Amino acid sequence: MLGIRSLLLLPAFIASSYALVFAVDSSQLVPESTYATAKSEGFTKAIIRGYEEACSIGGEVDPNFVGSYKNARAAGITNIDMYWFPCNGSGNNCKSYATQLSEIASTFSANKMDIGTIWIDLEKDSVCNNFNYGTAGNQAQAQAIISAIKATGFKFGIYSTPGEWSTLFGSESFVLDNSAPLWFATFNNVETLTLGTPFGGWTSAVGHQYTDVSASGLFDLSVFSS
């Protein structure tokens, strides 16, 4: 991540006109020093994988979640979200979505974590062969995920891409819950929130993951609305 923003950042007067928040996200254990460097370069938001598929055991709280959270806080980053990669797939003995969320909630409570938004990661994974229920079945699974998280009262959003959406649900036009905020990925190195290819009923987004390249090798980089 070191130096990435200096290479890709829009001119200051343009960036400030959009009031963008710069964010880093990671699925690995990130040291406090790396978060501190990110913060010094203007990345004031962190998103940490909080729950992983772990399909061989039905899903689990990411072992790196609490450590990375504590390191981000120690580095002075207080705007922290997490993302949930739900375990599913007909060949996997996954815990129910309610149980996965209960494990997340217990982790929040046990570690006194202050998490803003839980981002639901909706994408295909060939290793675990998730979302393999066919178009109608995949849509039903996604609707069950939304119902489960709504029952918790957690603030949530959806992370995906137009291509992943079409792969999972048969069409970019399938609407799951376009009232939820969208964080989308397009690795074009453009630090704007422009949703070039609308999908899922969204015509705008609150977050854009614009690159998966960082000098530390630990981060993807995003911009969010303030």
pLDDT in the model for residue 18: 59
CATH number of 20-225: 3.20.20.80
pTM more than 0.85: yes
Boundaries of every domain in the chain: 20-225
Distance CA 63, CA 54 (A): 11
With a CB cutoff of 8 Å and minimum separation 6, the contacts of 176 are 139, 142, 143, 146, 158, 169, 200, 201
CB 208 within 8 A of CB 184: yes
The mean-pLDDT minimum among 42-46, 65-69, 184-188, 216-220 falls in 216-220
Tell me: pLDDT of 83 over 50.
yes
The pLDDT tens digits for 162-218 are 999 999 999 999 999 999 999 999 999 999 999 999 999 999 999 999 999 887 889
Question: Which of the four pLDDT bands, split at 50, 70 and 90, describes residue 12?
Answer: very low
pLDDT in the model for residue 172: 97
Distance CA 86, CA 55 (A): 9
Q: How far is CA 215 from CA 20, 35, 135, 169, in A?
A: 22, 13, 38, 35
Tell me: pLDDT of 7 over 90.
no
180: number of CA atoms within 13 Å, CB side?
Answer: 25
pLDDT in the model for residue 217: 84
Q: Which residue has the tokens 């990375």?
A: 68
